[in-house]
Amino acid sequence: MTPATWLTAAGFVATAIAFGPARMGFGLFLPAFREEFALSTATAGLIASGGFLAFLLALVASAWLGRRHGERVPVMVGALAASAGFLAVAAAGEPGLLTLGIALCGASAGFCWAPFNDAAERVLPDAARAGALSVISTGTTFGVIAAAGLAFAVTEGALDWRAAWIAFAVCSLTLAGLAVAGLPSSRRGAKPARDAMVQIVMTALPAVPDPEPAASRLTQRAAMPLYATALCYGMANAVFLSFAADRVVAAGGLPGLPNEAASTVIFLSYGICGVLGLATGRIEARIGLAPLLCAIFAAAALSLILVAIAPRSWIAVLAASGLHGVAVMMVSAVFSFWSLRLFPGRGTLGFTAALLSVAAGSVAGPALAGFLATSLGPAVMFLITAVPPLATALWFGAKLRRPRPRLPPVTDPR
């Protein structure tokens, strides 16, 4: 295989594991965790937020490692963190070890995604980047499908949930091998640059001149919609992943199915429909960024509303999970190539800045949602959570009434 094919394959597997069972496994298995560890909704929200906080911290560490040692090292660290996290969850006998395992799993997602943006900028030609990044980001959907399949085996009594998490750990070791084969081993061929975290900090100090113009672009006005969109996406997605399955199960499940099987149905629909994310690059090239983001956030808002008002309807639950799956896979790809366009030559730096916004929303979302659900009920919590993505959809919809400037094409500054 060509280096570009190896890179795309490694990225696909990385997102399948890190953003499949590692990031979404807690929500998928939350009904089982509730029974095993006697978790309240507020406690479950805090555990979920802990995983997303680890994701945020790992993003910063990933950028630092990538600039120092190349893209291969942070991905391998992420693979090992996922393995350790899966095993910790499988061995947990009390909520403390469960929390640690979920945090390690969340960290793996922070280590494993952004390096592929930088590697794609160095390895792939301009015209191939958007398509390759769409394939890489959509690896998530296949990871979710595989995890949901194991969860279904658990509900059928064919597998213990602890055995499923051991299987996840074995799969994550495959990622370490692919990282060695598919990612550059060093920064050879790249321009020398300071650590990404140092660049982010220095942009907050306007009195100090920045010798690298790319770093100052982090605070440019054109980047603000990216950050705001990422913050909203992080919050809405984290709440859906953490509580949608639990909402349906707590409401009595889906007619004709064992109650605990509802979470499997939700995540299967989420993953299967998310395959449409493979077409993100082509769709954006045809209709433009603003219409695509308007549709994505309208779908996200509708998914939250449907879970709130009809948790026992097959049609509503399948539509909600499918719409959210498509929205997540597409917006993930959008962030990849949108950040490349805004920050040419600094793929990981720009993408890390966007993902920090995603992580901030992801940390706050589940914790706040857990307390809202406890005080106001889960239906009201989901309806309140739907407001920010709905407002985002309306904002991008309003932009459609004006002449739409096209974003500059991704160019190679070297």
Indicate the number of domains in the chain.
Answer: 1
Please give the helix or strand (H or E) that residue 310 lies within, else none: none
- Name the residue among 75, 25, 117, 49 with its Cα closest to residue 363: 49
- Average pLDDT (350-379) is 87
Q: Is 212 a domain residue?
A: no
The predicted structure's pLDDT at residue 203: 39
- Average pLDDT (319-325) is 94
The domain of 333 spans: 3-183+217-399
pLDDT(403) > 50: no
Contact 74, 83 (CB under 8 A): no
Q: Is 355 a domain residue?
A: yes
CA 331 – CA 326 distance, rounded (Å): 8
Residue 15's domain is classified under what CATH number? 1.20.1250.20
Q: Is 25 a domain residue?
A: yes
Q: For tokens 């239906």, what's the residue? A: 379
- Name the residue among 254, 260, 244, 235 with its Cα closest to residue 361: 235
Q: Is 373 a domain residue?
A: yes
pLDDT interval class at 159 (50, 70, 90): confident
Q: What is the residue-averaged pLDDT of the chain?
A: 81
Both tokens assigned to 115:
């390096």
The predicted structure's pLDDT at residue 92: 94
Assign 3-class secondary structure to 48-93: HHHHHHHHHHHHHHHHHHHHHHCCHHHHHHHHHHHHHHHHHHHHCC
DSSP-based three-state secondary structure for 315? helix
- Average pLDDT (39-56) is 88
Contact 338, 203 (CB under 8 A): no
Q: Is 210 a domain residue?
A: no
The predicted structure's pLDDT at residue 383: 97
How many helices (H) and strands (E) are present in the chain, helices listed first? 18, 0
Q: What whole-number percentage of the chain has pLDDT above 90?
A: 29
Question: How do residues 116-144 score in pLDDT, each as one tens digit?
Answer: 877 877 777 776 776 777 778 778 878 88
Backbone torsion region of residue 377, taken as left when φ is above 0, otherwise alpha when ψ lies between -120 and 50, otherwise beta:
left
Q: Is 347 a domain residue?
A: yes
Q: For tokens 């959210």, what's the residue? A: 324
Contact 299, 312 (CB under 8 A): no
pLDDT(390) > 90: yes
- Average pLDDT (280-300) is 90
pLDDT(314) > 90: yes
Question: How do residues 211-243 score in pLDDT, each as one tens digit?
Answer: 445 445 676 777 788 899 999 999 999 899 889
Contact 136, 15 (CB under 8 A): yes
Residues 6+ apart with CB under 8 A from 205: none
Please give the helix or strand (H or E) that residue 198 lies within, else none: helix 196-202
Question: How do residues 77-109 score in pLDDT, each as one tens digit?
Answer: 998 999 999 999 999 999 999 999 999 999 998
CA 31 – CA 27 distance, rounded (Å): 8
Contact 371, 279 (CB under 8 A): no
Q: Is 379 a domain residue?
A: yes
- Average pLDDT (318-346) is 85
Question: How do residues 244-280 score in pLDDT, each as one tens digit?
Answer: 988 998 898 899 888 778 888 898 898 888 888 778 8
The predicted structure's pLDDT at residue 196: 42
Span of 20-34, 63-77, 192-206, 396-410 with lowest mean pLDDT: 192-206
Span of 125-139, 143-157, 299-313 with lowest mean pLDDT: 125-139
Q: What whole-number percentage of the chain has pLDDT above 70?
A: 84
Q: Is 194 a domain residue?
A: no
Contact 144, 271 (CB under 8 A): yes
